[in-house]
Amino acid sequence: MRETKTIVSATVILFFTILLNEPIFSLKVKAVPNEDAQTSVVHFLQAQKNCHVDEMMKYSQYYLPIGNLKEAYSRFCERNPLQKATITSVNLIDQDIAIVSIETIYKHVINIRTAPMFKKDGQWKVVMGIPPSGVKSLNPNRDNTGHKVAKLFEDYSKAMKAHDVTKMKAFIKTVAKTKNDQLEQHLKAFSQAAPEISTYGVQVITDSLAIVQVETKYSNHSYLQNLAVYNDHGQWKLIYGQPLTNSFIPLSQTSIEVQ
């Protein structure tokens, strides 16, 4: 029985990996609804490269509200000049929410980031400062919105344990061009494994966007992710297949490029 559960869990992770790596959008293809979001990220990165802090603040919002953000941005740019940046993906969720993936290269490190974006008063902003995966708030304080967001995962978990794929789909939002048959196959495997899902920190960014620390626990392993959720006409939904990432890896002068 333990071996069977392990195989099912491995299958779920495999499906999840395939879903995440499915090419969904290319920056080489013109997509009118995405242009404003993409342009705002470009402006933010150009401002970071030139250390124009006011412009950086215009096109971003920090994950947690901090009083000295301008000084923090300025200090980071001066100590870590941006050498190169690549926007690898922009996925529009609705007219006011998007997910962007960025690779930024500095002198000694490379940062790989997937973050949500939102439009406020006609201006797109990218959410910066999201903690890396694995960070967990032990004493989360939740307001009314935070409780509603947490309930989304409770309802999703109940549907999963009831093996109700149709209801599971009602609690998620997929990015463009996600294949429905692949999605259903993954959800069925996920419901068979039936892991325990727990929520920790819930950071409400706007009335329609929040970031949640979610732990998925199987019988022999667990993982903690930052996931984005958004309010779809009064119903909070998980933005599926787009876990948020903020990771640094070292870069040396002896790096080897393999083509």
Which pLDDT belongs to residue 34? Answer: 62
Which pLDDT score is estimated for 29? 30
Instruction: Give this prediction's pTM.
Output: 0.84
Rounded to whole angstroms, the Cα distance separating 178 from 187 reads: 13
Q: Cα dihedral angle (206, 207, 209, 213), rounded to 10 degrees?
A: 90
Instruction: Return the pLDDT at 139.
Output: 67
Sign of torsion over alpha carbons 125, 131, 132, 136 = negative
Q: What is the pLDDT of residue 255?
A: 83
Residue range(s) occupied by CATH 3.10.450.50 in the chain: 32-130+245-250, 134-239
Strands 209-217 and 222-232: antiparallel
pLDDT of 169-185, one tens digit each?
999 999 877 888 899 99
Query: In this structure, which topology does domain 134-239 adopt according to CATH?
Result: Nuclear Transport Factor 2; Chain: A, (3.10.450)
| CB contact burial 27-66 (16+ within 10 A = b; e otherwise) | eeeeeeebebbbebbebbbebbeeebbebbbebbbbbeee
Name the stretches of the chain with pLDDT < 50.
1-33
pLDDT of residue 24: 30
Q: How far apart are CA 184 and CA 19, in angstroms?
A: 11
CATH code of the domain made up of 32-130+245-250: 3.10.450.50
Instruction: Report whether 61 contacts 128 (CB < 8 A).
Output: yes
**pLDDT confidence of residue 9:** 41
